[in-house]
Amino acid sequence: MATKLQKAIRFTLLWMLVPAGLAAIGYYVIGPQLGSHEAPQAEPREEIQDEEEDGTAEPKTVRNYVPPAIEVEVKRGQTIRERDMVIRPPKPKPKPKPEETTPVPTAPTSPVISPPSDGLETVPVGDGEPNP
């Protein structure tokens, strides 16, 4: 039984060989035939003669056909003029809004006690209660 790696390698090789094979067929079989044949020349057609050969045949017309009345008028084309162009000024950039600062809650601090100057005074540490 083939492992997953062998299956993956086989799939990859087929995936690469099929297009390579088709390209080789096109290059070696079809390619040389492209320029070898000339297009067949069209044979000149014989002029179709009307029933009357004396050349006095009237052109065939459709019954009740009225040719359209065509009038052609030429005018100078419109050009874009400077006065016709609308130039819009650029939009002003919005002013940045001042950032609202919210007060950051701080923990209550105990008053700062200065250290004793002569060393004879005692300073209470903590809240004054003995530690358990």
Label each residue of the chain as H, E or C.
CCCHHHHHHHHHHHHHHHHHHHHHHHHHHHHHHHCCCCCCCCCCCCCCCCCCCCCCCCCCCCCCCCCCCCCCCCCCCCCCCCCCCCCCCCCCCCCCCCCCCCCCCCCCCCCCCCCCCCCCCCCCCCCCCCCC
pTM over 0.85: no
Which domain range does residue 7 map to?
1-31
**Residue 17 resides in a domain:** yes
Average pLDDT, rounded, for the chain: 77
Please, which pLDDT band fits residue 120 given cuts at 50, 70 and 90?
low
**Residue 126 resides in a domain:** no
**Residue 27 resides in a domain:** yes
Tokens of 55: 């050349």
**Residue 6 resides in a domain:** yes
**Residue 108 resides in a domain:** no
**Residue 23 resides in a domain:** yes
Query: What's the pLDDT tens digit per position in 23-59?
Result: 999 999 988 888 777 777 777 777 665 555 555 556 6
Q: Which of 7-11, 45-49, 68-72 has the lowest mean pLDDT?
A: 45-49
Radius of gyration of the chain from its Cα atoms, rounded to whole angstroms: 51
Domain count, the chain: 1
Residue 74 has pLDDT above 80, yes or no: yes
**Residue 12 resides in a domain:** yes
**Residue 11 resides in a domain:** yes
